[in-house]
């Protein structure tokens, strides 16, 4: 097998990318415990199908706006785990030269307009990006990720209204993992689904199974085509579940082990593996691909570990590094 980046247009490539995200985040969790990564990090373990499905439906130059839970979005776009790892370890080879970290991770070269520690903070940024695509008459459409908690922020309501009246090329993707920190969605909104709110602003609504990478890819693909055709924005709700705590200090007292187990049985990675086998992919091919994904993450860690720390005199240099955008 070659060592080119996983091809997300192919089912095996989507499987490999989901696995890379999972393995990278498990590595990140260990590095946190060992005190090698500082600050905070929110893991998307369990939500990989949303990231890979949505990003795989977009063109490489379509702008992406992410959230505080954004490692998966970044990796799906960049396919460069070493850059992400370096950023988290504060090394100069990170896309923000180690100064962005998990919560301020961005790369103009990748049209990746940032993870964001402010709940709902990315939604107006995505809306502005969509307005600029329209004014500049580009053929690009924006992917805007956010959580169910962010759908209760004013930024969500104002942005959706504005995007709707101006018919902006943007796809709003709510990764509804049923909780905002410890608050279950049923305690924070009266409507049963975030997608119900699309009607209030005259947007198309789309409800997707966020544990199914192909369903997300297909649905977001339809929404992107609508956006590009000038048919306006869509509010996509992808129901999913985070398998880990909200962040590193969460004891998960607000949800039951039974609920977690129910969702774990729908693990987006193992269930997709079964689907690929039922469609004729051989076990040994999958195992080879799994070994390669694990090697890629280990190599990424070694490269990031070996990279330089930023020099003090670099502090005034704008924190952007050119990222290899591949072929
Ligand atoms: C404006 C703002 N308010 C509160 C917080 C604290 N906070 C961090 S993450 C989070 C929950 C976000 O929930 P959701 O949007 O559902 O995303 P998830 O963490 O579930 O992916 C909150 C309230 C914040 N970061 N920013
Ligand atoms: Mg949530």
**Structural domain boundaries enclosing 249:** 11-301
Instruction: Check pLDDT > 80 for residue 326.
Output: no
For residues 263-291, average pLDDT? 97
Q: What is the DSSP letter of 112?
A: B
The predicted structure's pLDDT at residue 1: 45
Alpha-carbon distance values, 146 to 12, 181, 261 (Å): 27, 14, 25
CA distances from 114 to 106, 162, 303 (A): 4, 21, 23
Phi, psi for residue 176 in degrees, rounded to 5: -85, 100
Answer yes or no: is the C-beta of 181 below 6 A from any ligand 1 atom.
Answer: yes
d(CA 180, CA 176): 9
Average pLDDT, the chain: 95
Ligand 2 (single-atom ion) residues, CB below 5 Å: 147-148, 177, 180
Q: Given the CA of residue 42, which atom of ligand 1 is nearest to it?
A: 19
Does some domain include residue 59? yes
DSSP state of 107: B
Is residue 89 domain-resident? yes
pLDDT digits (tens, 9 = 90+) for 142-175: 999 999 999 999 999 999 999 999 999 999 999 9
Domain assignment present for 306: no
Q: How far is CA 108 from CA 96, 155, 314, in A?
A: 10, 23, 19
Residue 130: which pLDDT band, with cuts at 50, 70 and 90?
very high
Q: Contact, 113 vs 125, CB < 8 A?
A: yes
Return the SS3 of 292. Answer: helix
Please list, in sequence order, all residues whose beta carbon lies within 8 angstroms of the beta carbon of residue 134, skipping any fewer than 6 positions away.
Answer: 166, 167, 168, 169
Question: pLDDT at position 320, please?
Answer: 65
Confidence band for 313, pLDDT divided at 50, 70 and 90 = confident
Extract the tokens encoding 6: 């996983």
Sign of the CA dihedral running 69, 35, 106, 303: negative
In terms of DSSP bridges, do strands 179-180 and 183-184 run parallel, antiparallel, or are they unpaired?
A: antiparallel
- Residue 196 belongs to a domain: yes
Q: Which residue's structure tokens are 């100069």?
A: 92
Distances (CA, A) of 22 to 71, 144, 265: 10, 22, 16
Kindly give the distance from the C-alpha atom of residue 183 to the centroid of ligand 2, in angstroms, as a whole number.
9
- pLDDT of residue 291 exceeding 90: yes
How many CA within 13 A on the CB side of residue 236? 33
In this prediction, residue 55 carries a pLDDT of 98
Residue 310 lies in a domain: no
What CATH number corresponds to the domain at position 23? Answer: 3.40.50.970
Average pLDDT over residues 122-134: 98
**Confidence (pLDDT) at 327:** 59
Q: Is the pLDDT of residue 259 over 90?
A: yes
> Region 304-320: what's the mean pLDDT?
83
Q: Output the residue whose Cα is nearest ligand 1's atom 12.
A: 180
117 Cβ inside 6 Å of ligand 1 = yes
Residue 177 pLDDT > 50? yes
Q: How confident is the model at residue 324 (pLDDT cuts 50, 70, 90)?
A: low
Task: Output the pLDDT for position 325.
Answer: 65
Q: Is residue 222 one of the residues assigned to a domain?
A: yes
pLDDT per residue as tens digits for the range 10-39 = 999 999 999 999 999 999 999 999 999 988
Identify the three-state secondary structure at position 8.
Answer: coil
Residue 137 pLDDT: 97
Residue 2 lies in a domain: no
Query: What is the percentage of the chain residues whose pLDDT exceeds 70?
Result: 96
- Of 1, 3, 5, 21, nearest to 13 by C-alpha is 5
pLDDT digits over 38-82, tens only?
888 899 999 999 999 999 999 999 999 999 999 999 999 999 999
Ligand with smallest separation from the Cα of 177: 2
Dist. CA 66 → ligand 2 center (Å): 14
Question: Tokens 């690929």 belong to which residue?
Answer: 276
CB within 8 Å of 235: residues ≥ 6 apart: 160, 172, 174, 194, 195, 197, 198, 203, 204, 205, 206
Three-state DSSP at 172 gives strand
Q: Is residue 63 part of a domain?
A: yes
Provide the domain count of the chain.
Answer: 1
């Amino acid at each position: 097998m070659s060592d080119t980046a996983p091809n997300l247009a192919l089912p095996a490539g989507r499987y490999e990318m989901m696995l890379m995200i999972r393995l990278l985040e498990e590595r990140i969790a260990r590095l946190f415990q060992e005190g090698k990564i500082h600050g905070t990090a929110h893991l998307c373990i369990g939500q990989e199908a949303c990231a890979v499905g949505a990003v795989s439906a977009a063109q490489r130059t379509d702008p992406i706006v992410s959230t505080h839970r954004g490692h998966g979005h970044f990796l799906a776009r960049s396919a460069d785990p070493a850059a992400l790892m370096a950023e988290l370890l504060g090394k100069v080879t990170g896309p923000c030269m180690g100064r962005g970290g998990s919560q301020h991770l961005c790369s103009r070269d990748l049209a990746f307009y940032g993870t964001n520690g402010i709940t709902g903070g990315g939604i107006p940024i995505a809306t502005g990006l969509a307005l600029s695509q329209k004014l500049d008459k580009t053929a690009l459409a924006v992917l805007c990720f956010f959580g169910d908690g962010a759908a209760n922020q004013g930024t969500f309501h104002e942005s959706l209204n504005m995007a709707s009246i101006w018919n902006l090329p943007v796809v709003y993707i709510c990764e509804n993992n049923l909780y905002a920190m410890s608050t279950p969605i049923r305690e924070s909104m009266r409507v049963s689904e975030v997608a119900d709110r699309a009607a209030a602003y005259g947007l198309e609504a789309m409800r997707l199974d966020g544990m199914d990478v192909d369903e997300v890819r297909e649905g977001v693909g339809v929404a992107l085509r609508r956006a590009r055709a000038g048919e306006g924005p869509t509010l996509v709700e992808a129901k999913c579940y985070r398998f880990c705590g909200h962040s590193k200090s969460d004891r998960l007292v607000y949800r039951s082990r039974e609920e977690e187990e129910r969702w774990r049985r729908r693990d987006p990675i193992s269930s997709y593996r079964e689907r690929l086998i039922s469609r004729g992919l051989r076990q040994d091919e999958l195992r080879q691909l799994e070994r390669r994904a694990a090697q890629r993450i280990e190599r990424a860690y070694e490269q990031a570990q070996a990279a330089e720390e930023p020099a003090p005199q670099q502090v005034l240099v704008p924190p952007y590094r050119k990222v290899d955008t591949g072929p």
